[in-house]
Amino acid sequence: MKKGFVFDLDGVITDTAKLHYIAWKDLAAALDIEIDLAFNEQLKGVSRMESLDKILAHGGKKDDFSIAQKETLAEEKNKHYVELLQALGPQDLLPGFKEFLNAAKEKQVPCVIASASKNAPFILKKLEVFDAFDAIVDPDELTKGKPDPEIFIRAADTIHIAPEEAVGFEDAQAGIEGIKACGMFAVGVETTEPLYQADLRVKQLSELTVDELLEK
């Protein structure tokens, strides 16, 4: 019997990957680096600085910038990304998510956000679902990113349950690995690529009921 739900944000609740892509593509172009949608898949669930490192390595410019310069580049990308987020609203929730969240709240199942995004509180407010969550793990407090299970262990801890008592929802392979590494039940929300190791795979949350997951 499960007692709580742990949600990733980008790819599970809303599709901000396309906005990250626009902002990274522009920044990369200014550095003479070309990225495409296939490469963007590698950035899903990956932190801002790690994403920048991957882009620089992709363009053969891994050692061309100091830490301070990289921080400035990451800030520039984020400024553009936050501008793009301004248009976000409840219409951008992924199909089935709101219904699933409402059903969880009706049954008083605690819900937590385990996202690598420092913009998560802002995004949840724009989507008008911020108040439905019992906690949001602060990525600034983490020592390791996904696929390390730290973010998922913390998420379970904030709602006072063991990882084994939670169901985690993820769209990225790194996230599924983190969920499984701490013994949590993993629901993979698949878009393009198949998610390995997930206990259940769906295209959207409307394929699931809260009751069936609580029984896992």
Q: Which parts of this chain interact with Mg ion (CB under 5 A)?
A: 8, 10-11, 45, 171-172
Beta carbons of 44 and 171 less than 8 angstroms apart: yes
Question: Which of residues 27 and 159 has its CB atom nearest to ligand B16 in the complex?
Answer: 27
Residue with tokens 């990274």: 24
Beta carbons of 167 and 185 less than 8 angstroms apart: yes
148 among known catalytic residues: no
Work out the angle between the directed axes of helices 67-85 and 48-58 (0-180°, nearest 10): 110
Of 30-38, 40-48, 127-135, 193-201, the segment contacting ligand B16 by CB under 6 A is: 40-48
64 among known catalytic residues: no
Upstream peptide bond of 149 is cis (omega within 30 degrees of 0): no
Which of the residues 118 through 177 are near ligand B16 (CB under 6 A)? 118-119, 172
Which of the residues 10 through 29 are near ligand B16 (CB under 6 A)? 10-11, 17, 20
Among 5, 93, 112, 115, binds ligand B16 (CB under 6 A): 115
Could you tell which of Mg ion, ligand B16, none binds residue 20, using a CB distance below 5 to 8 A set by kind? ligand B16
Which residues have CB under 8 Å from 54's CB, separation 6+?
42, 43, 46
Could you tell which of ligand B16, Mg ion, none binds residue 181, using a CB distance below 5 to 8 A set by kind? none
* Separation between Cα atoms, residue 85 and residue 19, nearest integer Å: 8
Q: Which residues are annotated as a binding site for substrate?
A: 8-10, 24, 43-48, 51, 77, 115-119, 146
In this structure, how many other beta carbons lie within 10 angstroms of the beta carbon of residue 186?
Answer: 23
Least Å distance between CB 188 and ligand B16? 13
* Separation between Cα atoms, residue 172 and residue 177, nearest integer Å: 9
Catalytic residues: 8, 10
